[in-house]
Amino acid sequence: MDYKHLGYFVAVCIIVFGSVISWWLKMFLTERTILKRISLLEEEK
Amino acid sequence: MNSFNSKRIPNIMAVIIIIMLGAGLKIVVDYSLTVDKEAGYLWAQKIFYYHVPSAWTAFLGYFIVMIAGVQFLRTGNRKWDQIGVASAEFGTFFCLLVLITGPIWGQAAWGQPWTWEPRLLTTLILFLLYIGYFMLRQFGGHYERVARNSAVLGIIAFLDVPIVYLSLKFWSADTQAHPQLGMSEQSSLVLNVFFFNLATFTLLFIYMVWYRIHILKLKQKQLELTHGL
């Protein structure tokens, strides 16, 4: 087996899957923060 | 306004995408053929199954930016601006994946990560155009002006997409380093795996844009509450 080229493929998989998970996590955390702020603002009113 | 993840359809979509990403990886690892049979770099060749669907998704994103830009200029509806921004973000996200996975494949195939050949260069220009788009959105001033100018920029920047796609035909073969293999020349096994990943990435793009638009709406609501609108 050509381990060098296998390494290239594994690197691509880590980059693709890792970045997708990171983006989802970023959106999830952003959404949670905004929802908390909105509920606080609504309580103030 | 509820959390995006408390809605039923996005949840079903997320489960389908996770299953498809996992199944796609399994198929690529276990069953996919090398695209270029004469190439001796089988594993690196499998990068194709992620590289090309990323490019397709980036083009799809930029196409939606262009449509949203036209609609925003026509109607002035803020909804189109939100669709445009969300699509531009994920179009650029996938374009960046293309620019990262391409050089990794290039290192295996060409022995160097980058050559200044037409397709690579036009893709880099496309990416930089959308970096300009985000700079305009960040520093462009008043919202109405930013939305209008970025809609125009989104339409103009899309002109580079057909140039990227047709770059193999536009420039002479001796300037090209990209594989000149047509999809019709591929075996059905290659095509089946490729189209499976293409469908997965398209679904992922729709999900991400939908989620992003939901967040933009939440931000809008927060802004309205803050300023007592």
pLDDT in tens, A1-45: 677 888 999 999 999 999 999 999 999 999 999 999 999 999 887
- Residues of chain A contacting residue B24, judged by C-beta atoms under 8 Å apart: none
> Which DSSP symbol is given to B92?
H
Q: Cα-atom radius of gyration of chain A, to the nearest Å? A: 19
- Residues of chain A contacting residue B103, judged by C-beta atoms under 8 Å apart: none
A25 touches chain B (CB under 8 A): no
Percent of all residues in chain B with a pLDDT value above 70, rounded to a whole number: 93
State pLDDT tens for residues B3-37: 888 889 999 999 999 999 999 999 998 877 665 55
The two structure tokens encoding residue A10: 């594994």
Residues B28 and A6: beta-carbon distance below 8 Å:
no
CA B213 to CA B175: how far, in whole Å? 41
* Interface predicted TM-score (ipTM) of this complex, two decimals: 0.92
Per-residue pLDDT for B150 more than 70? Answer: yes
Per-residue confidence (pLDDT) for residue B172, from 0 to 100: 74
How far is CA B191 from its chain centroid?
20
Give the chain B residue nearest A6 (alpha carbons). B43
Percent of all residues in chain B with a pLDDT value above 90, rounded to a whole number: 63
Residues B52 and B194: beta-carbon distance below 8 Å:
yes
pTM to 2 decimal places: 0.91
Domain total in chain B: 1
Residues B66 and B158: beta-carbon distance below 8 Å:
yes
Contact flag A41-B97 (C-beta cutoff 8 Å)? no
Contact flag A35-B104 (C-beta cutoff 8 Å)? no
Residue B80 buriedness (CB in 10 A; 0-12 / 13-18 / 19+): buried
Give the structural domain span for B97. Answer: 4-226
Higher pLDDT, B186 or B208: B208
Per-residue confidence (pLDDT) for residue B134, from 0 to 100: 95
Per-residue pLDDT for B153 more than 80? Answer: yes
Contacts of B86 (CB under 8 A, 6+ apart): B208, B209, B212, B213, B216
